[in-house]
Amino acid sequence: MQIEAAPTEARYEKPTGERRGLIMVNTGDGKGKSTAAFGLAVRAFGRTHHHGKKVKVFQFMKVPSARFGEHRAFETLGLEIEGLGDGFSWKSKDLDNSAELARSGWEKAKADIMSGEFFMVTLDEITYPLIYGWLPLQDVLDTLTARPTDCTVVLTGRRCPQEIIDIADTVTEMTLLKHAFKAGIPAQRGIED
Ligand code: ATP
Ligand code: MG
């Protein structure tokens, strides 16, 4: 088997040395969209001495009291993570509440993105409130476009709207080859949560 060499700069556009924030998207049906975004947030947080700015992860589909592995680990590090959702269900009166929470959560995230204080803002699972029509896509696009140039915004979730992919700099699609769940293996603590 031939092992691919790591990509060399020569294969890419000549680097400009410009430092700027990116719009990054993790989408697709395979596992790893959120966890890759958390890894990126940890990496960015580890360079705080370099950029001197904050890193924040917003989770659109998790409740504020969630205590998953990432919340526990981030707490130890001092990396901010905030759930913006409510144990969402398909009952219509709950749905009005979920939509309202998503909108007020988005206003918080937007304020942070626009504040100029952040090196990275992660919008984990934002595609779901967008797909459900709870958040205005145009406002998200306008915010991404108008954000301070040094702020990186990371968006995750399946079925990312094409309009976001069009303006993004780095887009990764996690492809489902296998998932343990399909073989009847239930969610594992520390892997799924
Ligand atoms: P992770 O949070 O593990 O990085 P993800 O963000 O890519 O996963 P989501 O679409 O947000 O995946 O789904 C979250 C949950 O669903 C996780 O518990 C994950 O293990 C599980 N999951 C992800 N992909 C699949 C799949 N293809 N089939 C079944 N369950 C899945
Ligand atoms: Mg996810």
Q: What is the pLDDT of residue 91?
A: 73
Which residue, judged by its Cα, is nearest atom 31 of ligand 1? Answer: 31
Instruction: Tell me the three state secondary structure of residue 165.
Output: helix
24-37 confidence digits (pLDDT tens): 999 999 999 999 99
Question: Is 0.85 topped by the overall pTM?
Answer: yes
Phi-psi region of 72 (alpha: psi -120 to 50; beta: other; left: phi over 0): alpha
From the CA of 63, how far away is ligand 2's center (Å)? 14
Question: What burial letters (b/e) apply to 137-171, b meaning 16+ CB within 10 Å?
Answer: eeebeebbeebeeebbbbbbbbebbeebeeebeeb
From the CA of 1, how far away is ligand 2's center (Å)? 33
Q: What is the pLDDT along the chain (193 residues), one digit of tens a residue?
A: 566 666 655 556 666 667 899 999 999 999 999 999 999 999 999 999 999 999 999 999 999 999 999 999 999 999 999 999 987 777 777 888 999 999 999 999 999 999 999 999 999 999 999 999 999 999 999 999 999 999 999 999 999 999 999 999 999 999 999 999 999 999 999 999 9
- CA dist 87 to 20, 94, 139, 143, Å? 36, 9, 25, 27
128-169 confidence digits (pLDDT tens): 999 999 999 999 999 999 999 999 999 999 999 999 999 999
The contacts of residue 113 (CB under 8 Å, 6+ apart) are 121, 143, 144, 147, 148, 151, 153
Q: Which residues face 171 on adjacent strands?
A: 25
Q: CA 98, CA 51: separation in Å to the nearest integer?
A: 35
Segments of 18-169 assigned E as strands: 23-27, 54-59, 80-83, 118-124, 152-156
Which residue, judged by its Cα, is nearest atom 4 of ligand 1? Answer: 32
**Strand 54-59 relative to strand 170-173: parallel, antiparallel, unpaired?**
unpaired
Report the run of H or E that residue 171 belongs to, with start and end. Answer: strand 170-173
